[in-house]
Structure 1
């Protein structure tokens, strides 16, 4: 990924630019599916687990990525540009393949018109479907 694009994304979310943050964001932007902390460790062998974890938590807090918990594993995906520190707007379905164990966003399945009673403050919604992805069905 182009360095200027990565730096711009970090700057838009008011995240200080560091080499580690650029490397982690580059990996996330190149991935079409969710990435777990263990997968990041394999990908970024020169980095330690706690540094990667802190980077991911910073990204999540600032609305750059969102996390999905599936089978006792947390996986991370890029957010939409309109997500921020106060609220994530990723109201789409996440699909977990029971064969290859990968999670992907199904952007075409959206849940944007859900209305809650006014006296409920929703911080997070999780929409996850389990099944077999198109690649594993072949």
Structure 2
């Protein structure tokens, strides 16, 4: 279904693309330069997820982050991959390389939603 393009949608997507990392709804609301309310931001983000434009990352504390995947073609989320949340700078990002894992015999993985937590490469060298 073709969705109507609005200035609010363009602003949210532009902000996510420029950020180059996952952002929470409150971070988007804080940085966006157009008047837009909380409910509209959530509605836009959820539609972007439905349309495969961004993907949602749920941290271990339940907080939701949204990202345009750096590995996805034309901003289309196409693969399952791991994310990393830094406990120091609070950055959430798609890991640039594959993380390999195994499951017990008899199990078949269809979807991966995993976030690793620790110190990012920038904070760990400080």
Give me the TM-score of the superposition, normalised by structure 2: 0.78
Is 1:101 matched with 2:93? no
Partner of 2:67: 77
CA contact (8 A) 1:64 1:81 kept: no
Structure 1 runs, 4 residues or longer, greater than 4 Å off:
none
Is 1:64 matched with 2:56? no
Partner of 1:50: 39
2:85 and 2:55 map into 1 onto residues whose CA distance is 15
Unaligned runs of 5+ in 2: none
What is the root-mean-square deviation of aligned Cα atoms in Å?
A: 2.8
Shift of residue 110 of structure 1? 4.9
Partner of 1:24: 12
Q: CA separation of 1:44/1:82 partners in 2, compared to 1, >3 Å: closer, same or farther?
A: closer
Count, aligned residues: 118
Q: CA-to-partner distance for each residue in 1:16-61, whole Å, 9 max, x for gaps?
A: 2111110001001111211000101101262110111100011000
Q: CA separation of 1:129/1:83 partners in 2, compared to 1, >3 Å: closer, same or farther?
A: same
Partner of 1:4: none
Partner of 2:120: 133
CA contact (8 A) 2:82 2:112 kept: no
* Greater strand fraction, Structure 1 or Structure 2: 1
Give me the TM-score of the superposition, normalised by structure 1: 0.72
2:91 and 2:40 map into 1 onto residues whose CA distance is 23
2:17 and 2:99 map into 1 onto residues whose CA distance is 21
Unaligned runs of 5+ in 1: 1-12
Shift of residue 130 of structure 1? 1.1
Partner of 2:25: 37
